[in-house]
Amino acid sequence: MFDADTKAMGYLPNYTRLFAHSPAVYLAWQQLNGSVKAGMDVRRYELVTLAAARALKSSYCGLAHGKVLRDKFFDAPTVAAIASDSGSANLSAQEAAVVDFAGKVAADANSVTEADVAGLRGHGLDDTDIFHVILAVGGRCFFSTVLSAAGAEPDPQYDESLDVDLRQALKFGG
């Protein structure tokens, strides 16, 4: 487990150390998360994950997925804008709607209404797309909650790989 994550990340993440207490759960998480990610394009997955991390106040997940968005899709100021207010970022109307929906699901899933779902349909998502957004948020709720409750600190590598303004925007509190 340590060797595989060190090889994949270039260092041993703090979350790997945490999940060493239950390797079977970690393996199950990796399988679940891989299945969820396979159901949508990477950009959408990362946007949904960042929105959920913001709602859950998970700095660890915010930093990790904000870095992916910066590395693969946006410049740092755009990622910072997404982290603070999706409406001010350079997102398509569909992406902004998905980010808002994901944040609502993470913050209070019981508050989601048929109108919220219809809004996503109006932006071109079908029921399978919407379900995959919900799955991504649900998975992030699990992972972020475990990391936060166990006190896992974000990896220090984020201090080295993200500029100070972006780091501050992606630190949501926990």
**Count of CB atoms situated within 10 Å of the CB of 32:** 15
- CATH for 41-170 is 1.20.1290.10
Please write the tens of the pLDDT for every residue from 94-141.
999 999 999 999 999 999 999 999 999 999 999 999 999 999 999 999
pTM over 0.85: yes
Extents of the domains making up the chain = 41-170
Residue 42: band (very low, low, confident or very high) from pLDDT cuts 50, 70, 90: very high
> What pLDDT, on a 0 to 100 scale, did the predictor assign at position 90?
84
**Which residue intervals of the chain are DSSP H helices?**
2-9, 14-19, 23-38, 42-56, 59-72, 76-84, 93-108, 114-122, 127-150, 157-161, 164-170
Query: C-alpha angle with apex 158: 109 to 55, nearest 5 degrees?
Result: 15
